[in-house]
């Protein structure tokens, strides 16, 4: 990371409740938690959903590595909480760094009219109260300070300027904008459009940002009918805001627990038709902001064993500049879960490829046709060749032959 770059990592992207179903694993099942390391090294945590547990383990590992040979180290982070619904706070009791005295945390959230003063402090204490948790809040030894903020506030945290806006969500919710020398992000989840003043304020907040992370829980059709009034939004509203505000990258976030990975794929491809610089938040995905723009890296997805091989295949898909391509390629390794392909085209991350593997004797009955999701793309040593990692897509039920 250069001096002027900031890194955003998604540790939880699922809305409402965690999911473990196999058909949700590609995007991930943990509830909202993002980590942001600003250009000056200041560490931010956005929301404390179940993804917070994994972030805590990683922070502890990095801090232990750093403290070897140093005097007492410690983690220091600024924790911005959007609201108090379970999916945004339920990781708190499982975040190890809260239980270590050398660490320091600065919390920010709003005063809830249901909880009164010190709302977030009360939430922390209530989560560790009997009989809900085996140890009480006295075991939470990290130093903690709390600041209550409201929509429209702005303040500085080291070299980062933070601004907030109220969102339209039951019991209230805050959106945060963080402006850093490396770029800006806006985190606006749990929002239902339709209240003119809040829609306007969110657009003011999102204007010109490099990355807008936005609630895209439902389809536009659900939002207009069965899910109206539930406090969430759709990819279509995200696209409208991104366009109105000249946002550089739109990230669809807070996936519905009942949305399979294929459903999220569908929302993403519909959104990309209208606003090409769209991504779907994925657990483990990172976005690095710098003067070169925003660089997206998707998490490692190799769960199964792979065999090195060389197969000829015909690959069709969409390249980074939006053109469609078809080419003969070599499959370098293969598992039923995914493959590593050698291509001259550079397919777009999170786009879909069709891979036809010509097994054996060119007899059409031995063709293996697979749909794949691009998770990795890097230049290879061979000139003009790209190594492309793909995960084969579980077929949607509707695609299976029915009798």
- Residues in contact with Zn ion by CB under 5 A are 15, 85, 87, 190
| 309-343: b (≥16 Cβ within 10 Å) or e | eebebebebbeeeeeeeeeebebbbbeeebbbbbb
- 364 burial (CB, 10 Å; 0-12 / 13-18 / 19+) is exposed
In the complex with Zn ion, which residue's Cβ is closer, 190 or 210? 190
In the complex with Zn ion, which residue's Cβ is closer, 50 or 290? 50
Closest chain position to Zn ion (CB): 85
Helix then strand then coil, % of the chain, to nearest 5? 20, 35, 40
Least distance in angstroms from the C-beta of 124 to Zn ion: 18
Least distance in angstroms from the C-beta of 85 to Zn ion: 3
Place of tokens 């990592």: 9
Least distance in angstroms from the C-beta of 50 to Zn ion: 12
Least distance in angstroms from the C-beta of 335 to Zn ion: 35
In the complex with Zn ion, which residue's Cβ is closer, 160 or 191? 191
Least distance in angstroms from the C-beta of 232 to Zn ion: 8
In the complex with Zn ion, which residue's Cβ is closer, 87 or 256? 87
Place of tokens 């794949």: 372
CA distance from start to end of the chain: 55
Distances (CA, A) of 285 to 99, 278, 299: 27, 14, 5
Query: For residues 322 and 373, what is the distance between their CA atoms, to the nearest angstrom?
Result: 16
Residue 137, SS3 per DSSP = helix
- 146 burial (CB, 10 Å; 0-12 / 13-18 / 19+) is middle
Residue 369, SS3 per DSSP = strand
Least distance in angstroms from the C-beta of 128 to Zn ion: 21
Least distance in angstroms from the C-beta of 211 to Zn ion: 19
Q: What is the DSSP letter of 17?
A: S
What does the chain come to in residues?
Answer: 403
In the complex with Zn ion, which residue's Cβ is closer, 113 or 310? 113
Least distance in angstroms from the C-beta of 264 to Zn ion: 16
215 and 232 Cβ atoms separated by less than 8 Å:
yes
Pairing type for strands 43-46 and 293-297 reads unpaired
In the complex with Zn ion, which residue's Cβ is closer, 173 or 353? 173
In the complex with Zn ion, which residue's Cβ is closer, 6 or 120? 120
In the complex with Zn ion, which residue's Cβ is closer, 87 or 179? 87
């Amino acid at each position: 990371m250069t001096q002027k770059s900031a890194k955003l990592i998604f540790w939880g992207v699922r809305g409402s409740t965690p999911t473990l179903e196999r058909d949700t694993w590609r995007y991930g099942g943990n509830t909202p938690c993002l980590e942001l390391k600003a250009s000056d090294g200041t560490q931010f945590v956005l929301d404390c959903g179940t993804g917070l547990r994994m972030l805590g383990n990683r922070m502890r590992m990095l801090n232990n590595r750093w403290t070897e040979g140093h005097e007492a180290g410690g983690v220091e982070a600024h924790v911005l909480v959007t609201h108090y619904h379970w999916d945004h706070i339920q990781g708190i009791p499982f975040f190890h760094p809260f239980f270590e005295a050398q660490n320091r945390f600065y919390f920010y959230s709003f005063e809830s009219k249901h909880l009164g003063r010190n709302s977030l402090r009360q939430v922390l204490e209530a989560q560790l109260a009997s009989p809900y948790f085996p140890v009480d809040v006295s075991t939470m030894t990290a130093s903690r300070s709390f600041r209550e903020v409201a929509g429209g506030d702005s303040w500085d945290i080291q070299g980062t300027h933070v601004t907030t806006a109220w969102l339209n969500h039951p019991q209230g919710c805050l959106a945060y904008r963080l402006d850093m020398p490396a770029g800006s992000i806006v985190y606006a989840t749990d929002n239902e459009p339709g209240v003119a003043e809040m829609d306007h304020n969110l657009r003011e907040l999102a204007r010109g940002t490099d990355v807008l992370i936005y609630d895209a829980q439902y389809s536009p059709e659900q939002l207009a009918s069965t899910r109206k009034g539930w406090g969430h939004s759709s990819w279509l509203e995200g696209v409208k805001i991104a366009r109105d505000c000249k946002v550089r990258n739109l990230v669809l976030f807070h996936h519905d627990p009942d949305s399979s990975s294929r459903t999220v794929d569908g929302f993403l491809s519909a959104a990309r038709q209208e606003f090409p610089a769209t991504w779907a938040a994925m657990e483990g995905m990172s976005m690095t902001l710098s003067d070169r723009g925003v660089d997206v890296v998707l998490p490692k997805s190799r769960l199964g064993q792979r065999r090195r091989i060389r197969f000829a295949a015909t690959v069709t898909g969409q390249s980074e500049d939006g053109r469609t391509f078809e080419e003969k390629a070599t499959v370098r390794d293969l598992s039923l879960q995914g493959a590593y392909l050698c291509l001259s085209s550079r397919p777009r991350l999170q786009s879909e490829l069709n891979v036809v593997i010509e097994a054996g004797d060119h007899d059409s009955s031995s063709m293996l046709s697979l749909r794949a999701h691009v998770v990795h793309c890097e230049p290879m040593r061979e000139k003009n060749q790209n190594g492309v990692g793909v995960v084969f897509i579980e077929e949607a039920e509707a695609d299976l032959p029915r009798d």
